[in-house]
Structure 1
Amino acid sequence: LVCVMSKAKDKSGSFYRFCQLCDEIEAKPSYNDKTEAISEFVQKFKGDVYLLMKFLLCKYDQRVYNIREKQLVKLMSRYLQCSHQDLLEDLEKGDHSQTCKSFIMQYKRDHPRRSSLTLKMVDQFLEQLTTATKEDDQLDIISNFFDLCTPEDVRYVTKIMDHDLKINIGPKFALNALHPKGYEAYKNSNDLELIVNRWQNHTLESVIDDSGPVGSGKKGKFTTNVSVMTPIKPMLARKVSSLAECFKRAPGGIFAEIKYDGERIQIHKDGDEFKCFSRNLKPVQEWKVKEVYGYIKKAAPKAESIILDGELLLVDTKTHQPLPFGTLNVHKKNNFAGANVCVYIFDICYLNGNVLLEDTIEDRRTTMQKYVKVIPDRVEVSELYEIKEESDLQVLMKRAMKEGLEGLVVKALGGPYSPNARHWFKLKKDYFDMADTVDLVVLGAYYGKGVQARATEKGLLSVFLMGSYDKESKQWKTVCKVGNGHDEATLKKLQKSVAKNFDKISKDPSKVPSHMDIHRQNVPDFLIKDIKTAPVWEIKGASFSTSQNHSVHTAGGISIRFPRVEKIRDDKDYNSHTTVEEILELASLDPISYVNNANERAKQVNSPSQLRSPSPSPSPSPKRSRSKSPAPKNAKKEPKEPVASTSKPRKQKRTREEFEEPDGESPVRIYTSANMKKAQKDILQTSADNSLDSKVIVQFGTTTGTNEGDFAKVLQKKWAKPAKKLKSNYKIGSLSDLGCIQPVKVDQRATMKVFVVTAISIGESGSIEVDALKDCAKKIFNFAQLKGASVHFLVDSLWPSSLRSFQVALSSQLNEEHGVHVMVYTDGQSNSNSNEVPKAKKAKTEETTNSSLGNLTAKLFASVNVVFDGFPENEKKKLARIVTKCGGSVSPSWV
């Protein structure tokens, strides 16, 4: 129950007054006016200033309430006993807090007319929410508290729960209302309560000297203390768009450091106790860092207490190269045997009672290398070079781009570590525009979220789904979502166009027509009615991308990083846009096309000329692959061409007379055999021959925890373990989405291992879905790369389309650098281009349907869409296969 304190004891201050202050801040046009409004309020305020500032800066409150917008709406429908659907429809207007307020006014007529809440009561309520994880417990807490609230109280409480008051105020202007240097003190200490206490005790005094060039970071310091186990605001980097700008901003000289594509981590060690914090100063999840603690202790045996700054990522133990961003989360699920969690250390802030923030970068680097030793693939020290010429910086940047790394961080010589200050510079390929723009068609629109929703109280559509036509599949594919490039006036004009030419589908995948290929994660709120009326916009971005983060887009695996609208092309229509084929060609020509691949990073190029580390680096382990030694100063060499990947495909043992290879250059090879039983036997055969590599055998599964297809039955007879594990994981809810994979080791002979991977890719129609297959394929190829294995598919009636389309779907997810040999085995009959159903399949079909359908032909259900209503699930699947094999299509429900 919520504890209600009497006002005689509770002097924390009126929450109603806080709401009035927020309204006043929101109405102020400038930041200085907002600061002045807070300052005037605080001077008269007699309550708890810490709680006041804590609520104003709720974005930085680290408490987790386990209630997002839709969960809150669900709880409100139960609390008010009103229609959940009505709440959801109102929520689409864009402001959940306003939805809660209006429905309380409508359904709770006995709500308090005057607020009696205090800041402490609200804080206690929020603290209670952090302990409730079950819906019924959350409902009890919310019901008891909301009974005490006016509708306006509820509006602001729900905003605080969402960590966003939407009044456009940050810590700089809020804390400077207390003291001119309040924000500077907060940056150093990251302790809001300490800052408020010092302000109240008149001990918050500045010793900052604002002189000195920006690049040097020499802006003095505050007398706030740094303590172990309390996170420090990390030093940050600002964007620069050219190499020359780095030298201009840091005239005293620069270092360049490789920028690793991992997660920022701040490591605190005090004796045997460890704490790790993220870039946002939140505790890092334990499973990510538990492997690291023991190695940090070994790497820094002389450090009783220490604070280190670095990047947490996954390292391939074969190539000793960092793996792409995001693989750490994949590692949690698949526990890759060929990869280690590793921390790359690039700075030290505290050592054995001494604060090192004001030490120069050279001194900090020397201290770090003295007290932190390298443990290969576990604890590494970042590469840092002194740069004297722009050409050296250019060569190093080219190396980073060729190796698939994020870029460079540039640091001024002699610079201190300034918490939360952007005195470093970052050079990333994302800041250099891609080679050309593309003209894309607007397929859909979304309501704005986050920053884009600040000016959208009434539900402005501000994010748009851009697409392109694929001549091969005769479908419209998605390329990217764009939310930048339009000013507010243009967005308001676009609302009329959307209302006229788009249908509201509320992100319902069943309402997407068959001529559009839209991944379920990208289904928009509104969808274009007639593609002939769709607008065409010119889109520019940082680069084309085949990153795993963009695998939900369907245009051949290509997307655009950081897209923005350059102009609205009223002079063009849907017939004159950039097609998928043209996009793929442009991406191949783009000099900074982004490929997120581990092997690409292992390629070597020349190091910059005359680069030196500010202090001796630890000797690398002999097994590690390092860049070549610096070239002579006068040698003007371009970076060498990348060395070919060392992971070469190995030919599989097969008989030429048994399988026929088709023509073509696809990395996915299709082998046709008249004797599929023999093919199955060969695939399942294991051997003790050490010359053979490992195998990944793929079977297909559903989201209901079953294996499907003729091949799955053969697999289960030989190895029952994958089917049992699939059922087990389905029951506990850990494997229930299309696009997931489940690898299981089933056999091992000498150095050869056999894995069966279940690809969750069979949809409601009973056939493999293209998007799900692509999602699974990317994960399977990455898994096979780590295991050094070949990949084997056997295609039967589960694939309703042509074998060529199956080959294309797999090829779009496979790069040469994977070094993976992919084989698809078929009897040549699983091709919808054929006008006849194979006799064996026909016989099976007739048997399945008790001969009720007679002699079927592939044209029987041409242009027919079927919905099965009232049939058992297993019968639905059988009948769905019959319809799709005979040229028809199946939908889950009537539209």
Structure 2
Amino acid sequence: MPRNALIVRVASFYDFARVCQSLSQTASRLQIAETVAEFLATLDPDEVEVAVRFFVGRATASGEEKRLKVSGRAVWKIVAAMTGGEDQGEEIFAAAEDFGEAIEMLLKLRASEPEPTLTIREVAARFEEIAAIEGPSSRGRKLDALREMFERATALEGKYLTKILIREMRHGMSEGTMLEAIARMAGRPVEEVRRASMLEGDLGRVARAMRPGEQARPSTGPPSAEAFGAERARAMKPLRPMLAQPMPNVAQAFAALGGKLALEHKLDGARVQIHCAGAEVKIFSRRLNEITRSLPEIVERLRNHGPRAFIVDGEVIAVDPEGRPLAFQELMRRLGRRREIERVRAELPVRLFLFDLLALDGELWIDRPYSERAAALKSLAQQVGAETVGRAEPRTVAEAEKFYQAALAAGYEGVVAKSLASRYTPGARGRGWIKVKRAHTLDLVIVAADWGYGRRKGWLSNYCLAARDEKTGRFVEVGKTYKGLTDEQFRTMTGRLRPLAISEAHGTVTVRPEIVVEVAYSDIQRSPQYESGMALRFARIVAIRDDKSPGEADTIQTMAEEFERQTVKPRPPR
């Protein structure tokens, strides 16, 4: 039954922190979901929305994370200066289990503990204020606002403020478990909540809408998942992109999809989702950040296209003056840019290729079969003057292999095989989409880096690479490499990693897992050196994937599957 607890007071952040602390000592996933559901039931709608985000390590709404720009190193410097613990870092990090506990230990150095006065709403408002600070001296003003919050925080509150800011909760509450907690709070089937989450993209807003008593007409119950999707289509809010599973060759993809499939060229570009309604056009990145201003030529092409409203999925690539594709790194100069847009536009034009239709004339199409969406997309693209990706429907493996080899010869990354019957499943690696690429690559996260020596002295230039464990959400190391980057990229990467630093010892800087890189490798080996039991052989970085979030990195489970697919594998240990 839905929980309709009587709300008698404003929820304190200290209560939230205590719940988090109890979760970290709970092994049962069901108990974690039940504990969180009971806590959420005591909150009002605004608090529910915020608390759900906080539980999964999000300080702000989905798509707003980039604006916060607060590093673990900044938190450490602020709190160390507050408490006089600047010279105790090595001892504290040796004793602490994680960065949040290290901040808690620092705060305990104060002469007295403040009374817990922070509320969940207040913390959320302060995060929003910090994210909104821009312009001259913005960094200093952000840190001042952060300092004021930590000065008021108890040691336990400071621990979880930090964990939220660096997105490293480590208390067992994954997004999947949170969906179960929301379902329990709302008294709704978990599949309905999961569907709503796929369409909404922000767990906080899902929880708020499903909270009993939030709706204007309580007798109708919380809105259906379809209501979420229809609202997003009307309001120009992005859906999470569907993802593809990797497979080593076209023959396996053909067999996995039962021979009823289409193949599409896989471009080495940036995923974009475009919402059009008359003169209004909005463009979103795969991480749901709005990037409309960065791509004015696409807006100009699609604006005033006619009476039809639609949402399309596609890929943007950078091209040279002759229209030939350029490297992915070149494209990153365009995305997210706010200044000198016209100059860079002239220097670095882009081309848009569409490959899916998500909504048309106010109706979601994601549950229609891919074959129907593809046909409608072809017609729509012709109407608005847009290009679509190269596509074929092979009848045999030989035809599929011929299309794949032609794609490679033309310079494409590979192909995406799509079941003709597949639905579009936002945010999921649907079984109906399979990517086949030339090289063995994985998208991994940098979790630490070594200071270089010799020619690379002064740069963080040897990177510890980690895959995500989809069961725990942790990042597990699987290899290390200094290969693949130019001197200029080493210099730039050093500048990006330093603000993410959590700790430093013996020439190795441990960083927050935020930067995703595409890593090519020859094969996967068994390795006792790593907790995962696997290591990449001859790893090299082939691209810095700023368009991907750490949550989209490849998983240990994917690595294990890739290992089993290898024709030649090391003998198992005796």
Equivalence for 1:356: 365
Cα 1:390–1:33, aligned 2, differ >3 Å: closer, same or farther?
farther
Q: Is the 8 A contact 1:276 1:283 kept in 2?
A: yes
Equivalent-residue separation in structure 1 for 2:441 and 2:69 (angstroms): 39
In the alignment, residue 160 of structure 1 is paired with which amino acid?
I
User: TM-score scaled by structure 2?
Assistant: 0.68
CA distance in structure 2 between the partners assigned to 1:401 and 1:222 by the alignment: 42
Matched, 1:72 2:75: yes
**Secondary structure of 1:176's match?**
helix
Structure 2 matches for 1:588-599, cutoff 5 A?
A: none
Q: 1:19 to 1:568 in 2, by over 3 A?
A: closer
Q: Which of 425, 429, 433 is the equivalent residue of 2:434?
A: 425
Aligned to 2:195: 184
Show the 5 A alignment for 1:608-647: none
Q: CA deviation at 1:274?
A: 2.1
What residue is the counterpart of 1:198 in the other structure? Answer: 210
CA offset digits 1:804-825 (Å, max 9, x no partner): xxxxxxxxxxxxxxxxxxxxxx
Q: Secondary structure at the match of 1:174?
A: helix
Match of 1:308 among 284, 305, 312: 312
Distance 1:77 1:297 in 2: 52
Counterpart CA distance in 1 for 2:350 and 2:405 is 27
Q: Secondary structure, in 3 states, of the residue corresponding to 1:308? A: strand
Q: Which amino acid aligns with 1:152?
A: L
SS of 2:159's partner is: helix
1:131 is aligned to 132
What is the CA–CA distance in structure 1 between the aligned matches of 2:265 and 2:97, rounded to whole Å? 41
- Identity rate of aligned residues, in percent? 21
Q: 1:280 aligns with which of 287, 292, 317?
A: 287
State the TM-score, normalizing by the size of structure 1. Answer: 0.45
- Preserved CA contact (<8 Å) 2:441 2:520: no
**Alpha-carbon spacing, 1:309–1:389, altered in 2? closer, same or farther (3 Å):** same
Q: Deviations over 1:817-873 (max 9, x none)?
A: xxxxxxxxxxxxxxxxxxxxxxxxxxxxxxxxxxxxxxxxxxxxxxxxxxxxxxxxx
Letter in 2 for 1:198: M
Quote the RMSD (CA, aligned, Å). Answer: 4.3
* Deviation readout 1:543-573 (Å, 9 max, x if unpaired): xxxxxx89xxxxxxxx95487554479xxxx
Q: Quick check: which has more Rg, 1 or 2? A: 1
* C-alpha distance in structure 2 between counterparts of 1:121 and 1:132, whole Å: 17
Displacement after TM superposition at 1:350 (Å)? 1.8
Q: Is the 8 A contact 1:466 1:482 kept in 2?
A: no
**1-structure distance, mates of 2:29, 2:446:** 19
Question: Which sections of structure 2, spanning at least 5 residues, go unmatched?
Answer: 1-6, 184-189, 470-476, 483-488, 498-503, 509-516, 530-536, 544-574
Q: How much does 1:18 deviate?
A: 1.5
**In the TM superposition, what is the alpha-carbon distance from 1:245 to its structure 2 partner?**
3.4
Structure 1 equivalent of residue 547 of structure 2: none
CA deviation after TM superposition for structure 1 residue 412, in Å: 0.7
Q: Residue by residue, what CA displacement relative to the aligned partner does 1:229-269 show, whole Å, maximum 9, x if unpaired?
A: 11112122122234343234322601111111111111112
Pick closer, same or farther for the CA change 1:415–1:99 going to 2, 3 Å: same
Q: What is the letter of the counterpart of residue 328 of structure 2?
A: F
Paired with 2:527 and 2:452, the residues of 1 have a C-alpha distance of 14
Q: Which residue identity does 1:100 align to in structure 2?
A: I
Deviation at 1:70, TM superposition (A): 2.0
Give the equivalent residue in structure 1 for 2:16.
18
Q: Distance in 2 between matches of 1:142 and 1:275?
A: 32
Match of 1:53 in 2: 52
Instruction: Look up the equivalent residue of 2:128 and give its one-letter code.
Output: E
Q: 1:480 & 1:188 partners in 2: Cα distance?
A: 39
The 2-side partners of 1:328 and 1:307 are apart by 23
What is the match of residue 37 of structure 1?
35
Q: CA deviation at 1:187?
A: 0.6
Give 2:148's aligned amino acid.
N
| 1:323 correspondence with 2:331 | no
Task: Output the CA distance in 1 between the equivalents of 2:126 and 2:397.
Answer: 57
Counterpart residue identity of residue 278, structure 1 = S
Higher alpha-carbon deviation: 223-232 or 559-568: 559-568
Look up the match of 2:353: 344
Q: 1:101 is paired with a residue of what secondary structure?
A: helix
After superposition, where does 1:509-658 map in structure 2 within 5 Å?
Answer: 526=506, 560-561=520-521, 566-567=526-527
Name the structure 1 match of 2:301: 295
- Matched ranges for 1:474-873 at <5 A: 481-483=463-465, 526=506, 560-561=520-521, 566-567=526-527
Q: Give the 3 Å change call, closer, same or farther, for CA 249–312 of structure 1 in structure 2.
A: same
Say yes or no: does 1:175 pair with 2:187: no
1:689-737 CA-to-partner distances (Å, cap 9, x unmatched) read xxxxxxxxxxxxxxxxxxxxxxxxxxxxxxxxxxxxxxxxxxxxxxxxx
Residue number in structure 2 paired with 1:122 = 123
The answer for the alignment partner of 2:154 in structure 1 is 150
Task: Give 1:458's aligned residue.
Answer: none
Q: Work out the CA distance in 1 between the residues paired with 2:150 and 2:238.
A: 35
What count of residue pairs does the alignment treat as equivalent?
A: 459
Asked if the contact 2:104/2:155 (under 8 Å) is kept, the reply is: yes
Cα distance in 2 between the residues matched to 1:20 and 1:563 = 45
CA displacement at 1:185 relative to structure 2 = 1.3
Counterpart-to-counterpart distance in 1, 2:421 and 2:468? 42
Contact 1:344 1:382 in 2 (8 A): yes
Q: Look up the equivalent residue of 2:205 and give its one-letter code.
A: E
Secondary structure, in 3 states, of the residue corresponding to 2:422? coil
Q: Name the SS of the counterpart of 2:182 in structure 1.
A: coil
- Please, which of 408, 416, 420 is the counterpart of residue 409 of structure 1? 416
Is residue 2:160 matched to residue 1:159?
A: no
Q: Which residue is 1:719 aligned to?
A: none
Gaps of 5+ in 1: 1-8, 208-220, 434-449, 454-461, 488-493, 495-506, 508-517, 529-548, 551-558, 570-577, 588-592, 597-895
- The structure whose residues are more often helix, as a share, is 2
Whole-angstrom distance in 2 between the partners of 1:310 and 1:198: 31
**What's the offset of the Cα at 1:322?**
2.2
* Equivalent in the alignment of 1:845: none
Structure 1 position 109 matched with structure 2 position 104? no
The aligned counterpart of 2:271 is 264
| Aligned-pair CA distance for 1:46 | 6.8
Give the residue type in structure 2 aligned to 1:144: E
CA change 1:263–1:563 in 2 (3 A) is farther
The residue aligned with 2:399 is: 392
Alpha carbons of structure 1 residues 328 and 525: separation in structure 2 relative to 1, 3 Å: farther
Contact 1:485 1:564 in 2 (8 A): no
Q: How far apart are the structure 2 equivalents of 1:247 and 1:105?
A: 60
- 1:249 equivalent in structure 2: 256
Task: Give yes or no for the alignment of 1:382 onto 2:393.
Answer: no
CA distance in 2, matches of 1:398, 1:480: 35
| Letter matched to residue 112 of structure 2 | D
What is the CA–CA distance in structure 1 between the aligned matches of 2:405 and 2:383, rounded to whole Å? 26
The answer to whether the 8 A contact 1:485-1:565 is kept is: no
Cα distance between partner residues in 2 of 1:88 and 1:285: 45
Q: Is the 1:349–1:357 Cα contact (8 Å) retained in structure 2?
A: yes
8 Å contact kept, 2:92–2:105 = no
Q: Measure, in 2, the Cα distance between the counterparts of 1:30 and 1:248.
A: 39
The answer on whether the counterparts of 1:465 and 1:482 sit within 8 Å (CA) in structure 2 is no
- AA in 2 matched with 1:183: R
- Distance change (3 Å), C-alpha of 1:397 and 1:482: farther
